[in-house]
């Protein structure tokens, strides 16, 4: 009978668990998610553009391309020029970590505009904006909102 062991992975023994969910991936993902959460409402409400409100979120793809090409490939090139095993090695992302960053950006892209910010601003300012003499919101609704 043959032994059903898996072949060893390059670099040592097979790792178990969530090795793709690293601190480095979470730091990059959080940084780009915050950047997207700030830029998307600005582009949508001020510039009247769409970064995340279509079937392929343009803002997510753009920031992922920045993470992939600018950070990752540039850092790989600098690390190779310096001979490898430098501090720059910590900043390079593996493919599995890039997947985590991309998923974090996809989840973030749903929240800033149509998911929360766009409707939240309208809800906050709506009663005072639409109150007039016919609906009497100044007497019926606005006093309860101020408390």
pTM, 2 dp: 0.63
Q: Is residue 131 part of a domain?
A: no
Q: Is residue 81 part of a domain?
A: yes
DSSP secondary structure code for residue 131 in this structure: -
Q: Is residue 108 part of a domain?
A: yes
d(CA 49, CA 135): 34
Q: Which of 94, 87, 108, 128 is nearest to 21 (CA)?
A: 94
How far the first Cα of the chain sits from its last, in Å, is 77
Which stretches within 21-147 are classed as H helix?
Answer: 23-45, 58-65, 74-81, 95-109, 117-130, 137-140, 142-146
Q: Is residue 145 part of a domain?
A: no
Q: Is residue 58 part of a domain?
A: yes
Q: Encode the chain (147 residues) as per-residue pLDDT tens digits.
A: 445 555 544 544 555 566 778 888 899 899 988 988 888 777 777 777 765 655 567 777 888 888 788 778 888 888 888 887 778 777 888 888 888 988 888 888 877 766 677 777 778 888 888 888 898 888 888 888 864
Q: Is residue 84 part of a domain?
A: yes
Q: State which H helix or E strand residue 136 sits in.
A: none
Domain count, the chain: 1
What confidence score (pLDDT) does residue 3 get? 53
Domain boundaries, position 77: 23-126
Are the C-beta atoms of 18 and 85 separated by less than 8 Å? no
Are the C-beta atoms of 14 and 6 separated by less than 8 Å? yes
Are the C-beta atoms of 79 and 86 separated by less than 8 Å? yes
Q: Is residue 56 part of a domain?
A: yes
Give the CB-side neighbour count of residue 95, counting CA atoms within 13 A: 0
Q: Is residue 109 part of a domain?
A: yes
Give the CB-side neighbour count of residue 42, counting CA atoms within 13 A: 7
């Amino acid at each position: 009978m043959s032994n059903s062991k898996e072949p060893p992975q390059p670099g040592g023994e097979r790792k178990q668990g969530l090795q793709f969910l690293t601190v480095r991936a979470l730091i990059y993902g959080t940084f780009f998610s915050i950047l997207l959460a700030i830029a998307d409402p600005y582009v949508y409400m001020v510039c009247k553009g769409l970064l995340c409100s279509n079937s392929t979120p343009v803002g997510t793809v753009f920031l992922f391309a920045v993470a992939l090409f600018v950070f990752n490939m540039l850092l790989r090139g600098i690390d190779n020029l310096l001979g490898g095993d430098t501090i720059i090695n910590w900043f390079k992302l593996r493919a599995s970590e890039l997947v985590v960053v991309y998923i974090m950006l996809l989840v973030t892209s749903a929240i800033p505009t149509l998911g929360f910010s766009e409707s939240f601003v309208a809800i906050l300012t709506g009663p005072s904006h639409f109150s007039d003499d016919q609906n009497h919101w100044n007497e019926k609704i606005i006093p309860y909102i101020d408390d």
